[in-house]
Amino acid sequence: MVKISVLYANEEGKKFDLGYYLNRHIPMVRQKLGNACKQVAVDQGLSGGEPGSRATYVVMCHLYFDTVEAYYTAFGPHAEAITGDVPHYTDIEPTIQISEVKI
């Protein structure tokens, strides 16, 4: 199984509309990716490791697929629609990481 992580850095002066993200963007992504996407998890950053410190990421989204190829096949035809929606909820440039889930 692979995990596609979309990370939004918690940068001073940047915006992130969590309501739009959870209620409009993620449902649209799930619809477009279909059954190839096995699971979605969205995490909201609360703090860093030290009490009261700033979270590294304001939001992290994790999408799970059987294989990297399954991700590319599902995402490719919808890449423009999915990435084109980003300005509706944030001005943060997302960081993408593809990982193999070991446990």
pLDDT tens digits for 34-84? 999 999 999 999 999 999 999 999 999 999 999 999 999 999 999 999 999
Q: Which amino acid is at 88?
A: H
- pTM of the complete model beyond 0.85: yes
Residues 6+ apart with CB under 8 A from 95: 6, 7, 8, 9
pLDDT (0 to 100) of residue 44: 98
CATH number of 2-100: 3.30.70.100
